[in-house]
Amino acid sequence: MKKKVPEMLNVLTIMTIGWSFMMLISSIVNAFVLSGRVDTIQEEIGKVDIKGKPGEPFLEVIFNTADIVLEHAEFLNYNSMIVYVLSIVAALLMRKLLKLGFWMYVMATAIEISVPVIVLDNKLAAGVVILSSVFSVIFIILYGVNYKQLTGTK
């Protein structure tokens, strides 16, 4: 007899699948949009004159961070695609009540946070990455609360 997916786990996995699918599509679109255009975007950003403007030091930090992110944009897009595919597969495994799904989701979140922080090596970018991963960490906690509902390993 097939065991029913607990309601909270059902809601969490549906939300994970929906969000991850939307973000996967977004990453794919970003890859096509940015493909071959990073240099052009960096040139346009370089044309912006911030000298003598209010908040110049802050703007310099923002522009430098944007430049660093753009340098690694293609790699980061591919990383995001991997993270969202892993998250979808993890949620589907948890819908089948498999513990492997939980650990796969934890791994996807670890990749989501650590790879950009390591690659970008920029405090502002790291802060943004960590802040944007808050919901993924909350979902790990919520999935962890339901971990005892996950039974199988096959």
Cα distances from 5 to residues 8, 15, 141, 147, in angstroms, run 8, 14, 18, 12
pLDDT of 27-79, one tens digit each? Answer: 999 888 877 777 787 777 777 777 777 777 778 878 888 888 888 888 999 99
Q: Hey, is 135 helix, strand or coil? A: helix
d(CA 145, CA 123): 32
Longest dimension (CA), the chain: 72
Q: What is the pTM of this model?
A: 0.85
Measured CA to CA, the distance from residue 30 to residue 26 in angstroms comes to 6
Express each pLDDT in 81-103 by its tens digit: 999 999 999 999 999 999 999 99
Q: Judging by beta carbons within 10 Å of its beta carbon (0-12, 13-18, 19+), is residue 143 exposed, middle or buried? A: buried
Please, are residues 89 and 96 in contact by the beta-carbon 8 Å criterion? no
